[in-house]
Structure 1
Amino acid sequence: MYYCLECAQIHDRGYNENELVFNSGFFTSKGVIYPAGLCREQQVKQLQNDALDDHLTAL
């Protein structure tokens, strides 16, 4: 498990290209220490928002 610095949620680690878990940097929640990382959920949301903005601009 790791704490995502982008979406501020704790995720199960999938060991795939959709996440980046750092070797240093940690987050503590309720006495449990989690490694810090980044999921791609925020990146996907940003891409969707950018595509919507582009579509609305084209109108």
Structure 2
Amino acid sequence: MKRQKRDRLDRAFSKGFQAGVGGRSKEKCPYSTLDSKSQWLGGWREGVDGRVTGLFNK
């Protein structure tokens, strides 16, 4: 059970990162549970930071 939960949270982080790199708004977070949403937003922040600093291009 713990592995499934961890995988879901890793997936949420990864999807948020992709959204941040792609320039999507954080308001478009598809998750409603607190854990998944916080992971998605954390990934989104890292993706935006990477895009702003020039590590990634659209």
Q: TM-score, normalised by structure 1?
A: 0.37
Q: Point out the structure with the larger helix share.
A: 2
Select the structure of larger CA radius of gyration: 1
Work out which structure has the larger RCO, using CA pairs closer than 8 Å and 6 or more positions apart in sequence. 2
Q: Point out the structure with the larger strand share.
A: 1
